[in-house]
Structure 1
């Protein structure tokens, strides 16, 4: 790895991507070119280097970081562009490096998805777009399976984690700048306590919040493990606070809560293995983050006239308790649980749950919860699939305690699929990262120069 890559590249590339965010705001067609370059350059370098340096891993990480930015700027070449990119990059990685026997549980999971597809094709109405219905619901699980089969048991080092976090953060920085410039005056657009697309770059707040929460964790990792100089620490702290602020202002709580949970779990994971001096520094950093969190939330309250506080308390703009604290998602999940009990063997079939729910309840909405969707559409096979996904990373953890990021990645996947299903590629790819074999060659230290 290059010597002192932080000083040489990190800040410069963050600034370059910030400029990309500015340019795309002024001239949106650049976003399509950006998306085209990601796929083209990714394929080129993976093939050119035969994935010798884990190019597939890093290019997949980059497109995962870029996906929501591309969606909000109309740069997506097809709605599922990022998932297709991850699948292609991972398949190229598989071609050059093969897979491990450790991927067998995930291969089983992939095979168990097939009956649900057949049932879906048979059950969907004649006027339904069968291809679209199946792709919408199944591409996320397929992306997860391909990425996991490609990465299961693959050896990586802490240096690889350094590069992985940087590559995922660069496009998130572009998105963050775009969001700030898209709507610099928050007070003018916040009128209620519902999720707010105007403060989310004009796009879905749930997905934006998810990526900003992931960004919070990635920057925290950089502060703890890869920031040696005080200037870099201060920059990353500012970066973290900016991500937190815009995450809160989406009025979508899931991503912010998930980012906080990932950080808390990482602290618990590393705490027993660091020196007393290291513990002191982690405590100091934790205290600074808590203080910074109060400042961010306090400033957000002032900018939204107190409405953001109502949102997090589950109240409407007038301070009255909302009938639904989960924006109606519990009704959708309940209908899917009912579908499971009515069709416990093979489920209603992939893509059918939306039609079935409309017939049952009159609610015309797609699932927000991957767990209840799996049960509804795959029945008992869905139960087995979920058990495979839940147990496999935990088995990997007991066999590879050095993978100190595993539980944080796992909780990101688990919490995200509960509030945002698998609309974007992030939960699929982050899940696959739990199956890497991380070896920390040098004991991680929190020593500051």
Structure 2
């Protein structure tokens, strides 16, 4: 079959069918996870990563990760990060990396002192390996992904294929959510984050990936729909992901998706000609109207409770004391740890122990910025500055990657409310470092020169 339009539609249907199969036969989720690993390795090795197959498989993994977690199919708790690290490592073996990626080697080096410190500072009854891996796997995944992607040449069309790879498992997630809780009205009782509308998994993480889904299918609609059928399908999926994201009652992911879309439209408007600007203006108006419609439908389905959630009220309409669902307590404790240990921090994984000892709160960090400050001290701040400014400086000379600001914003906003629980922020951040070519480059796509 050579018709790209039909291939895309069939792939969407297949991934919806996968969700149905897993819902009926839960054990197939683990088979699915193993199949992804096997296929990914064969696909990359067979093609020797000549066309950045690593990016295709990594994109697929970061969105399928949530589906596997909510269906108990993840082979390991950090399955997504391990898979991306493995794929990226293989990609580096085949295609090398830019000498100018040294800034991310510095990022890695600055992580080491606090890792060593944690070996000696963590309590004896703590699983040291698990505590370190839980907190450091995200930065490691981000670092190796960034080294692979930094100034790697790729065509814009190939980047759109990467975005399509992100899209496919998202359909499985949406289909599963509708089967898990077909009636939102029946499961919404308050204004707290809702596990029932999140497939029984963490609403924060589900909201994160659904927010990414809003953006991904918006991109598909705007830049990858060359027929009325594709416009209808992708437009419908944008609305589906907006609705399911809203009714998780976890605000971070939805707001992040909206910011990503706004930034993309701003970039397209700024870089477009008069005709393109008129089209972007029309898209903005239609997007706003669609957003109002989805919000109104969500409000009806939740009997108005979603309005109270975003107004930071409880079901009775009383304003909640905490505006960040209690995260400000974690942030304050981590900031104090930084002030007490400003050079090397308290060590990787130690902040959870200190917080429990001093406040009685047993909770892992939800904010990667304050976690880095608490656990890595000043070295962590330097690492954060590297991550914050490198993509922005790169964007100045790489305007053809119109997604840079959107990808960067996804990483920054996600790590502020969901830390790096998922592989998604690490990989999406790295995509902002690609050197995108609208025209086909003379050298192979994986060239770094």
Query: Shorter-chain TM-score category?
Result: over 0.9
Aligned to 2:368: 370
TM-score by length of 1: 0.96
Residue in structure 2 matched with residue 447 of structure 1 by the alignment? none
- Separation in structure 2 between the aligned mates of residue 290 and residue 369 of structure 1, nearest angstrom: 30
Unmatched segments (≥5 aa) in structure 1: 443-449
Equivalent residue for 2:104, pick from 103, 106, 110: 106
Establish whether residue 357 from structure 1 lines up as the match of residue 384 from structure 2.
no
Give the Cα–Cα distance (whole angstroms) in 2 for the partners of residues 34 and 58 of structure 1.
Answer: 17
Deviates more, 1:153-162 or 1:370-379: 153-162
2:391 to 393, 410, 414: 393
Q: Once the two structures are superposed, what CA deviation does each residue of 1:5-42 show, in whole Å capped at 9, x if it has no partner? A: 2x131111001101111111111111111110111110
Q: Following superposition of structure 1 onto structure 2, how do residues 326-345 of structure 1 map, counting pairs within 5 Å?
A: 326-345=324-343
- Indicate conservation of the 8 Å contact 2:268/2:280, yes or no: no
Q: 1:134 and 1:226 mapped to 2: Cα distance?
A: 41
Residue by residue over 1:389-420, the C-alpha shift from the partner in whole angstroms, topping out at 9 and shown as x without a partner, is: 11111121112121111010000000000000
State the secondary structure of the residue aligned to 1:194: coil
Q: Secondary structure at the match of 1:219?
A: helix
Could you tell me how far 1:4 is from its partner in structure 2?
5.4
> 1-side partners of 2:242 and 2:42: how far apart?
35
The aligned counterpart of 2:43 is 45
Q: Secondary structure at the match of 2:196?
A: coil
Corresponding residue number in structure 2 for 1:175: 173
- Asked if the contact 2:154/2:435 (under 8 Å) is kept, the reply is yes
Which residue number in structure 1 is paired with residue 430 of structure 2? 432
- Deviations along 1:36-95, one digit per CA (max 9) or x if unpaired, are 011111011111111011111100000011010000000100100111000000000000
In 1: Cα distance, 2:112 partner to 2:129 partner? 14
1:202 to 194, 200, 203: 200
Task: Please give the alpha-carbon distance, in whole angstroms, between the structure 2 residues aligned to 1:281 and 1:399.
Answer: 25
Distance 2:255 2:70 in 1: 22
User: Paired residues, what number?
Assistant: 440
| Structure 2 SS opposite 1:156 | strand
Shift of 1:273: 2.3
Q: C-alpha deviations, 1:304-362, integer Å up to 9, x for none? A: 11111100000001000000011100110110000000000100000000001112211
Q: Distance in 1 between matches of 2:399 and 2:286?
A: 28
For 1:115 and 1:349, how far apart are their aligned partners in 2? 8
- Partners of 1:235 and 1:435 in 2: how far apart? 30
Partner-residue secondary structure (3-state), 1:19: helix
2:447 maps to which residue? Answer: none
Listed one character per residue, the Cα deviations across residues 157-204 of structure 1 (whole Å, up to 9, x for unaligned) are: 111122111111100101100001110111121111000010011110
Q: Where does 1:27-426 land on structure 2 (aligned, <5 Å)?
A: 27-426=25-424
- Distance (Å, rounded) in 1 between the aligned partners of 2:135 and 2:247: 29
Matched residues in 1 for 2:137 and 2:19: separation? Answer: 28
Structure 2 distance, partners of 1:272, 1:204, is: 38
Q: CA contact under 8 A between 2:155 and 2:439: conserved in structure 1?
A: yes
How big is each residue's C-alpha offset from its partner over 1:415-444, in whole Å with a ceiling of 9 and x where there is no partner?
Answer: 0000000000000000111111011118xx
Deviations 1:222-273 (A, max 9, x none): 1121111122112111100000000000000000000000000000111122
Counterpart secondary structure, 2:317: coil
Instruction: Indicate the RMSD between aligned Cα atoms, in angstroms.
Output: 1.1
Match in the other structure for 2:18: 20
TM-superposed CA distance for 1:276, in Å, is 2.7
The answer (yes or no) to whether the contact 2:156–2:401 under 8 Å persists in 1 is no
C-alpha separation in 1, matches of 2:113 and 2:103: 17
User: What SS class does the counterpart of residue 287 from structure 1 fall into?
Assistant: helix
SS across alignment from 1:338: helix
- Alpha-carbon distance in 1 for matches of 2:16, 2:145: 29
TM-score of the pair, normalised by structure 2: 0.96
Whole-angstrom distance in 2 between the partners of 1:169 and 1:224 = 14
Paired with 1:338 and 1:4, the residues of 2 have a C-alpha distance of: 58
Post-superposition shift, 1:3? 6.6
State the alpha-carbon separation in 1 of the partners of residues 120 and 62 from structure 2. Answer: 33
Structure 1 residue runs of 4 or more that deviate by more than 4 Å after TM superposition: none
